[in-house]
Structure formats: C-alpha cells, structure tokens
Amino acid sequence: LTNSSNLSVKNGSALKLYLVTDSLMCQKLGLVQTVCEAIEGGVSFVQLRDKKADDDELYQIACELKEAIAGRVPLVINDKVHIAKKAKLDGAHIGQGDLSVTEARHILGPDAWLGLSINTLSQLQHAHNNHLDQLNYFGLGPVFATHTKPDHASPLGLSGLDDLAKASLLPTVAIGGIQLDNARQVYQTHCDGIAVVSAICAADDPKIAAQDLLQQHVLAQ
Ligand code: TZP
Ligand code: MG
C-alpha cells in the first residue's frame, strides 16, 4: 500500500507499546536481553536511544540489536539518521532540534519509519503544513515530568496530550513519565500508543512490565 506521495503506509497499531531504550537503565540484563524480553512481553516498537555512545559504538549496538530483534518489531534510532541508514534499521525518530524532516526522509528513503517529537500545537501545525507526507507518526510529550530526560519541555498533562492527539493527522504515541499507575489514563486519550523508557528498562522483569502495561490497554477499552 502506498499513499499519494508514495510513502509506505504505516499502521498506528505498531505504536501500541513503544519501548525507548536507555542502556544505563538496562544494567540488570543488558540492553539486548532487556529488549528481547520486552518484545516477548508484547512491546510492538523499539527505538534505540543512546545519548552517550559515539557513532561507531552506536552502529555496533544498532547491528547487535537488529540481529536480536530479527524483524519481530520495527527498530528505529533516535537522532542519528545516518546510522539508521548504514545499519539498515527500519527508520529513525527525530526531535525539533535535530536535522530537518526533509533531510531525514531523504537519507532514509520512502519506505522507512520516520517519527517526529511534538510538544505544542504550533509544532504540530508546522509539521502538518510542511512535512505531512514525509512523516509516519508523531511522538507527543512529555505527558508528565520525568527524570529520564532532564531537559524536557513543559509537560502536556492528559488533556493537553489529548488535544494534540485529536488534532493530529498522523498516528501518535505519548511519551514522558508514563508508568503502570497512569498508563490506563494515557491509553484512554486519542493516542495510538504509549512510549516508555524507565517503566520497562528499569523494571525488575521487562517481560512482566510490558505485559502489565498492555493489560492497561485492555482495561482502558
Ligand atoms: N522524550 C520525552 S520524555 C522522554 C523522552 C525520551 C523520556 C521518557 O522516559 P520515561 O522514563 O518513560 O519517563
Ligand atoms: Mg533528538
């Protein structure tokens, strides 16, 4: 299936439980085993995010993770679009301060996933007006304050999140401060899914953490 711009259509259901990695939080099992157990627990999408590794290290980690995931769910990388291309990942996720959407899509080609972080309605409108046919989804956040991203923008809260999700012309995934005790309320917004770092990476058992989060999707219906 292709849309008018020949960009592959991506299903929002892939965003239902979106894992963003943090290697330092995965100390107990290591990054690869943490991700694999989370996928066994139902994680539907993985974003490799590592603010510390240099490009060579990140490329090695990306290749290792790709081999372990073996196509079960999409694997994208945060910010480093050229590494997504080099390691033949499924795409990339970029923020407002990274390279442009146009440049990222040019590097990745038409079939890759490309997501953009959004914190305000004006950012959403700008993306709609300029990059709609180059993007597959929006990451909306932070929903709540979180220690995982110390420099995060002001939290949207649940109603601010829902306003953005309702206005979005693309699938959306909510991020920031989502834990087991608030996941159900986030699933009750118009977002297609939730993205978490610490709720899975810092969990004692990443498989059970993923299962428990997905149970909140069932309970939200
Ligand atoms: N972008 C906005 S908030 C955030 C990112 C990467 C961190 C979310 O981490 P956590 O542990 O799920 O709150
Ligand atoms: Mg970024």
Question: Is 149 annotated among the ligand-binding residues?
Answer: yes
Tens of pLDDT, residues 108-118: 999 999 999 99
Query: Is residue 166 marked as binding?
Result: no
The predicted pLDDT at position 161 comes to 98
In the residue annotation, 149 being an active-site residue is answered as yes
Give the predicted TM-score (pTM) of the model.
Answer: 0.96
ipTM, two decimals, is 0.98
Ligand 2 centroid to 80 CA: how many Å?
Answer: 8
The H or E element spanning position 59 is: helix 55-69
**Which one of 105, 117, 168, 207 is the catalytic residue?**
117
Q: Establish whether residue 93 lines the binding site of ligand 1, counting it when its CB lies within 6 angstroms of any ligand atom.
A: no
Q: Is 117 an annotated catalytic residue?
A: yes
DSSP 3-state of 113: strand
Q: How far apart are CA 193 and CA 191, in angstroms?
A: 5
Per-residue pLDDT tens digits of the chain, which is 221 residues long: 444 444 566 789 999 999 999 999 999 999 999 999 999 999 999 999 999 999 999 999 999 999 999 999 999 999 999 999 999 999 999 999 999 999 999 999 999 999 999 999 999 999 999 999 999 999 999 999 999 998 889 999 999 999 999 999 999 999 999 999 999 999 999 999 999 999 999 999 999 999 999 999 999 98
Ligand with the closest atom to the CA of 179? 1
220: CA distance to ligand 2 center in Å? 30
pLDDT tens-digit readout, 46-69 = 999 999 999 999 999 999 999 999
Give the pLDDT score at 8.
Answer: 61
Tell me how far apart the alpha carbons of residues 108 and 221 are, in angstroms, rounded to a whole number: 36
Task: Say what angle helices 55-69 and 31-40 make with each other, to 10 degrees.
Answer: 30
Note the pLDDT of residue 7: 56
The answer to whether 187 touches 11, Cβ cutoff 8 Å, is no
User: Residue 115: CB within 6 Å of ligand 1?
Assistant: no
Any binding-site annotation on 120?
no
The verdict on the CB of residue 149 being under 6 Å from ligand 1 is: yes
